[in-house]
Structure 1
Amino acid sequence: MNRMQLVDALLAGPRGRRMLLEFALDSEPPGVVELMPLAAAVTSAARTFEPPGTTIWIGTGPRPKEPAPATPDEVARLLTETTLAEATPERLRAAMARSVDMARYWQESDGTDQVAATAEVRVALERVAEHVAPTVSSWWRPIDLHRQWSVRWDEPRIGPPAAMSMAQLRRIQAQQIEQEQRAQHDRPADPTANMSGEWWSKPGWPTPSTAGATFDGSPAALWFVEDSMGWEQCLVYMASVSARSRVFEIDSAEAWGELCTRFPTAVTALKRHDWYRATGRIGDWVLPDWSAVAEHYDAVHLQAGAYLAAAGTAIPVGDSAASVIAGWNPGETYWLTEVIRFDEEPTAWVSGGGGIGEWMLE
């Protein structure tokens, strides 16, 4: 990609825009609110986009008048005035981690994501995208088969992941077809109905996944976790992969659309309510049939840059359907055949900051 293509890709999706905004916020010197005007304005403007809530005033006398919320115009102005920090790999990794952690596909985007999506703020973020583009160009790259790790967060004692067989994948696919048929009967057809279910689009459990390394050699899966649970320790298993592995590369929204077009399975009844809230789209939804994909590919790799550009968006599939990349982490690969093996002895990692903190070997 050239520089302008990188800028366009970083601005295309909610996770990319949030990463750029997080980088700009990190550029403000820490201090009291008066010395962090951009952070204060973003927080204020975001409240106007969040669902209405109830506040209770406890005190004597009249309730103090709240200041008028900041507008996207004000956020955009402050973005243009902020001196951007050096685009170091450390800062960009932290901004990416914060953006990934705030992903949610079972409800509307949070207020900060919606602020970043406004026309005014999006234009102001172009300067940030141009600033970081040279450093993040490596986020669009094929899988490194020689450096792949899998993380065990919540059940460290169950041992390393296991490769999937075709029989397992076909059982998972049969279960999904059955769930879709049941949802067609049991769930309302109105996409705005108060209904939720399986909002993710990754292959069904227990399909193993891996990710590569970040700039300092630490496993990327430690840092980039959607809607993380604040884990502070984990076990990491190194993977061994055949050099002849056939990997489908998701390097853009169009690549995901191609995968769904070639190997489609209908999931409208299962996904319509969650994905309507996440994207605002009404219509038919499809996913890849992973058992069919496995007949042609051993794995599917979501490039980190493609994640920023496409995750959480309604991706066209054919003339009338669409799909969503949801529940994947940037740089994540799902392994659909038995070409992968995992070391029996893991390494233990701990976080020094809780959740999105500094990870280190225990």
Structure 2
Amino acid sequence: MEPHIEQLLNGPRGRRLCLELAMEMDQDIRIAVFHLGYDLDPGAGRSRRMLTMSPSGEAPPPPPEPTVNELAALITSLDLKGITNELVQKALERAVDTARYWQEPDGEDVLAAVSEIRSALAHVANGVLRTPAAESWTREAEVRQWSIDWRSAEDPAPLSGNPRQKLAEWARNQRAGEVRAARERRADIRANVGGEWWSIPHNLMQSTGQIPQGLDLVEDSLGWENATAIPVAGTGQILEIGTAADWIQLCREFPLNVTASRRHDWFRTTGRDGRWVIPDWEKASSRWDAVHLTVAGYLHLAGHALEVDPAEGTASVIAGWNPDTTFWLNDVVRESGEPRQHWLRPHNQDEWTLQG
């Protein structure tokens, strides 16, 4: 398997993108994934139910269940000529939208990690990585970006500021939360407890490189229907997170222990029980003005347990960080003065529309 394909399929979100694309391109694949994903879902029969009904109102006999090998054969025989940038973008949006780091992966994520399906998805990954859309995934942070305010044009707000104060507050809260979790949470790793699962501070100024694409690449979205895209410009020392080594080095240089506060949630999402660290963003700001997660880095790394220090048994997770998003650690970004853009997505519609 080619290194770039292997790298994409090593990531839970990368595998999900390939699976979503295969479903978009073939209805038989969609049906098979629906059934197999349901069977593998941790909420099957409880939080997730499958209902079937015949025209007569009686439940029909269940159809023959597809097998993993049958699905793998469908995927490997998929004609890749129909792949478009639009389909890849939609699959990326679905991969982001279905990310969850506070509970077990859903059935489709579990299915994509099954060895037979993962091997079959190499066929799809090969087609994906040849598209112009994928070529942009390694794009680094540019000077001109967009900050998104999830409110309407009638409710304007200034850009988020005071990063030093906010980072200090974040660091205090993290350390206090860690002490509290160590004292109060049950030792049983499978206990039904949880809390903060993010690996980045959300109270900082953040920006994205592309609009309207960035409006749809949001983890754990709240279903916003209004967005104001604010043109910004920032300079300084920007760290690019595109590989596991980038994140691991940052965690090694500025480690912050979050084992007690993250272990239950991150065990559920990764299956790993051990010590956890994230970057101490307050200390990292002494070296870096901003940190940017590329789309490729997101697909390879997000939701995956990344070994930081084998000797100490520490690992880390990138969680809650949208692809192609820059977090500004220092006060080096300003609104550019170009016109703000106001976008609307009416209820139950998929597309954002530029207003005015």
**Shared fold, TM over 0.5:** yes
Please name the residue that 1:330 is paired with. Answer: 323
Matched residue, 1:283: 274
Which moved further from structure 2: 222-231 or 161-170? 161-170
1:87 aligns with 2:83: yes
Query: Does residue 187 in structure 1 map to residue 180 in structure 2?
Result: no
Match of 1:152 among 135, 144, 149: 149
State the alpha-carbon separation in 1 of the partners of residues 89 and 52 from structure 2: 40
How far does the alpha carbon of each residue in 1:156-211 deviate from its partner, in whole angstroms, 9 at most, with x for none? 725132233323312210111011001100111222110010111112x3201111
User: How many residues are aligned here?
Assistant: 344
1:249–1:260 Cα change, 3 Å: same
- Identity percentage of aligned residues: 40
Query: How do 1:161-180 residues align onto structure 2 when only pairs under 5 Å count?
Result: 161-180=159-178
What does residue 65 of structure 2 align with? 69
Q: 1:227 to 1:167 in 2, by over 3 A?
A: closer
Q: What CA distance in whole angstroms lies between the structure 2 residues aligned with 1:206 and 1:342?
A: 18
Supply the RMSD in Å over aligned alpha carbons: 2.4
341, 346, 353: which one aligns with 1:347: 341
CA distance in 1 between partners of 2:302 and 2:53 (Å): 42
1:256 aligns with 2:247: yes
* Cα shift readout 1:246-283 (whole Å, capped 9, x = no counterpart): 01110112211111111001101110111000000000
TM-score by length of 2: 0.90
**Once superposed, which parts of structure 1, at least 4 consecutive aligned residues long, lie more than 3 Å away?**
54-65, 352-355
In 2, Cα distance between equivalents of 1:58 and 1:87? 34
Whether 1:107 aligns to 2:103 is yes
Aligned position for 2:224:
231
1:40-55 equivalences in 2 (<5 Å): 40-51=31-42, 52-53=44-45
Of the candidates 258, 262, 273, which is equivalent to residue 271 of structure 1?
A: 262
**What is the deviation of 1:94?**
1.1
My pick for the range that moved more, 136-145 or 85-94, is: 85-94
SS at match of 1:106: coil
CA contact (8 A) 1:6 1:137 kept: no
Instruction: Give the whole-Å Cα distance in 2 for the aligned partners of 1:174 and 1:138.
Output: 37
Letter in 2 for 1:248: L
Contact 1:164–1:336, Cα closer than 8 Å, also in 2: no
Over residues 24-63 of structure 1, what are the superposed CA-to-partner deviations in whole Å (9 max), with x where a residue is unaligned? 12222xxxxxxx2111101010011112425699999996
Matches within 5 A, 1:125-144: 125-135=121-131, 136-144=134-142
One-letter amino acid of the counterpart of residue 258, structure 1: Q
Instruction: Give, in angstroms, the shift of residue 64 of structure 1.
Output: 4.5
TM superposition shift of 1:133: 1.0
Name whichever of 261-270 and 148-157 sits farther off.
148-157
Q: Distance in 2 between the 1:239 and 1:58 partners?
A: 53
**CA distance, structure 1, for counterparts of residue 176 and residue 276 of structure 2:** 16
Cα deviation, residue 354, structure 1: 4.2
Match of 2:116?
120
Q: How does 1:202-213 map to 2 (within 5 A)?
A: 202-203=200-201, 205-213=202-210
- Where structure 2 has 5 or more consecutive residues not aligned to the other structure, the ranges are none
Matches of 1:61 and 1:158 in 2, distance apart? 52
Cα distance, 1:164–1:9 mapped onto 2, change above 3 Å: farther
CA distance in 2, matches of 1:26, 1:62: 31
**Larger mean Cα displacement after TM superposition, 165-174 or 149-158:** 149-158
* 2:76 partner amino acid: T
Tell me the TM-score normalized by structure 1.
0.88
3-state SS, counterpart of residue 256 of structure 2: strand
Partner SS, residue 201 of structure 1: coil
Structure 1 unmatched runs, 5+: 29-35
1:15 Cα deviation after fit? 0.5
Partner of 1:240: 233
Q: Tell me how far 1:6 sits from its aligned partner.
A: 2.0
Classify the secondary structure of the residue corresponding to 2:262: helix
Match of 1:7 in 2: 5
